[in-house]
Amino acid sequence: MVAKVRLFVEHPLAQGQTVPLERDQAHYLFGVMRLGTGDEIALFNGRDGEWQAVVEAASKRGGVLRATAQSAPLHMPPDLWLLFAPIKKARTDFIVEKAAELGAARICPIGTDFTNSERIRQDRLQAHATEAAEQCGGTYVPEVAPLAKLDKVLAEWPSGRHLLFCDETARGAASDFTALPRGPWAIVIGPEGGFSPAERDRLRAHPAAHAVSLGPRILRADTAAVAALTLWQAALGDWS
């Protein structure tokens, strides 16, 4: 089973459209994936759906593709953001990959009281989201936002957007996601050590917040992110 190579490009895609390749794209397609002139690949740009394309020219430093036919329409994810507190590199990468795979529209790293990392490699996380979209057959790549402090994010919270708060200390919290209102949402996941008591109080008191339970076990932050995205998608998103 050789899966067709899928590539995210910035360029517009349309019937007969030529797409020039940058150096790193040429290296990936012709050096790593061993494609050559006449080979087929699939392209998407987050706006025009998925397009079949053929390699028209290939060199070490560049190349040209030509789009031949649209193979899938644009499939936008539901209006769901994932807010998470990045800590360890491997688990941060994992959360971004899974959020893209599971169909989050926007990925927002947040700084919290128990988060040590003062900065993130936004470009690297964005590349992870793009690669996940390439792998999972997506036609859309969620944007990775700059790191922002949770306090500031909550103070400037957009009107009308619900906030799903996975509260592992609230045993009585709802676990039935189908009872939640429809509309734009954000899921917020704390760091490995949890939110601080002050943050927890602020989240609980926030007018947009809905507390939910993710079962009787303590989940790691990355597991909680995947579980919450899954339950939201199945109940309120595009899985049903």
Binding site for its own copies (CB under 8 A): 1, 3, 75, 94, 98, 101-103, 114, 135-138, 175-177, 193-194, 213-220, 223, 226-227, 230-231, 233-234, 237-240
Q: How far is the CB of 48 from its own copies (least distance, A)?
A: 18
Residue 30 or 81: which CB sits closer to its own copies?
Answer: 81
Residue 59 or 239: which CB sits closer to its own copies?
Answer: 239
Residue 14 or 179: which CB sits closer to its own copies?
Answer: 179
Coil/strand/helix, residue 27: helix
Q: How far is the CB of 125 from its own copies (least distance, A)?
A: 17
Q: How far is the CB of 129 from its own copies (least distance, A)?
A: 13
Residue 28 or 114: which CB sits closer to its own copies?
Answer: 114
Residue 98 or 162: which CB sits closer to its own copies?
Answer: 98
Residue 21 or 125: which CB sits closer to its own copies?
Answer: 125
Q: How far is the CB of 90 from its own copies (least distance, A)?
A: 8
CB 148 within 8 A of CB 111: yes
Coil/strand/helix, residue 42: strand
Q: How far is the CB of 104 from its own copies (least distance, A)?
A: 11
Q: Residues 6 or more apart from 74 whose CB is under 8 A from it?
A: 46, 47, 48, 49, 139, 140
Q: How far is the CB of 25 from its own copies (least distance, A)?
A: 22
Q: Residues 6 or more apart from 125 whose CB is under 8 A from it?
A: 92, 93, 96, 107, 109, 144
As a whole number of angstroms, the distance between CA 203 and CA 139 comes to 33
Of 122, 136, 194, residue with least CA distance to 165? 194
In one-letter notation, the amino acid at residue 227 is A
- Burial-class residue 49 by CB neighbours within 10 Å (0-12, 13-18, 19+): middle
Q: Residues 6 or more apart from 155 whose CB is under 8 A from it?
A: none
